[in-house]
Amino acid sequence: MARKKNRVLPGFRLTLGYTLLYLSLIVLIPLAAVFWKTSTLTWAQFTQVITSPQALAAYRLSFGASLLAAFINAVFGLIVAWVLVRYNFFGKKFIDALVDLPFALPTAVAGITLATLYAPNGWIGQFFTPLGIKISFTRLGVLVALTFIGLPFIVRTVQPILEDFEPEIEEAAASLGANRWQVFWRIIFPTLTPALLTGFALAFARALGEYGSVVFISSNIPMKTQIVPLLIMTKLEQFDYPGATALAVVMLVFSFVLLLTINVLQWWTNRHNANNLA
């Protein structure tokens, strides 16, 4: 008789059973309930809900603002990560900890704070008011909130790659006559690209589902400053549960595709790093 293989972690079947039970209770059953509630609508009703003018306007604002916020964070998050890794200065530990503030800060607190700061009479908003620029309770305010909550994803994804980058590679390129910009664009940036794309996708996904910080800084005006999560909450307050779950299904499907893309990017990152080490 063949001997049973000894596993590093005993109790595989038991732990697998607990894992599947936990995932079913926390993830699968609630998601299935959303699809089940949506199934009470006919296809015509479902299409009418998800393609209504109010829903299309919310899609445009949610996806557009989230995409733009992710781009902004990709640029400035890379700069922040670069400064934290490459330079030593007074207060570095404080700034490094400050990057994680959007993770720890309740989103409602962040929304109230941003709305107060960027209000026409706020500490920051008062400087834009004479220029005719209004931030709070506008689409620009939504962009500010989504940029705030997405920054840590870029910094924390890029920072470890920068820390592990061998300085000898830069020195070798410089010894061959490359200037600083050539070293960055041809050697450093290609190495950072997989991690930067992963952070971009994570920031984009996080912004799409944001509710707490946006609800305070946007005025929630239909067709203007209403994002999809706010529209879903509005339908729930109106007891339109099938309509709310129909919009939720659209976001769930897109989120699943986005998460699948993130996993592919992470696989590509690991493979890219392994090839570099080889």
The pLDDT of residue 190: 84
Q: What would the mean pLDDT of 224-238 be, rounded to a whole number?
A: 91
Please, what is the average pLDDT of the chain? 86
43/167 Cα distance (integer angstroms): 59
Per-residue exposure over 53-88, b if at least 16 CB sit within 10 Å of its own CB, e if not: eebebbbebbbebbbbbbebbbeebbebbbebbeee
- Across the range 72-86, mean pLDDT stands at 93
Nearest C-alpha neighbor of 144 from the set 205, 236, 69? 69
- Of the listed ranges 50-54, 77-81, 262-266, the least confidently predicted one is 262-266
Entry pTM: 0.83
Residue 125 has pLDDT above 80, yes or no: yes
Q: Average of pLDDT values for 50-68?
A: 94
| Angle (deg, nearest 10), helices 189-208 and 241-277 | 170
Mean pLDDT calculated for residue range 231-255:
90
277 burial type by CB count under 10 A (0-12 exposed, 13-18 middle, 19+ buried) = exposed
pLDDT band at 272 (very low <50, low <70, confident <90, very high): low
More confident: 261 or 100: 100
What pLDDT does residue 185 have?
85
pLDDT of residue 152: 94
More confident residue, 138 or 10: 138
Q: Is the pLDDT of residue 5 over 80?
A: no
Say if residue 256's pLDDT is above 70.
yes
Q: What percent of the chain has pLDDT over 90?
A: 42
Average pLDDT of 36-46? 90
More confident residue, 117 or 18: 117
Q: Which residue has the higher pLDDT, 99 or 267?
A: 99
Residue type, 124: I
User: Which CATH number is 43-277 given?
Assistant: 1.10.3720.10
Per-residue pLDDT at 34 exceeds 60: yes
Q: Is the pLDDT of residue 1 over 50?
A: no
For position 128, what pLDDT does the model report?
92
Q: How far apart are CA 220 and CA 89, in angstroms?
A: 42
Average pLDDT over residues 136-154: 93
Confidence of residue 135 (pLDDT cuts 50, 70, 90): very high
Mean pLDDT (whole number) for 52-61:
94
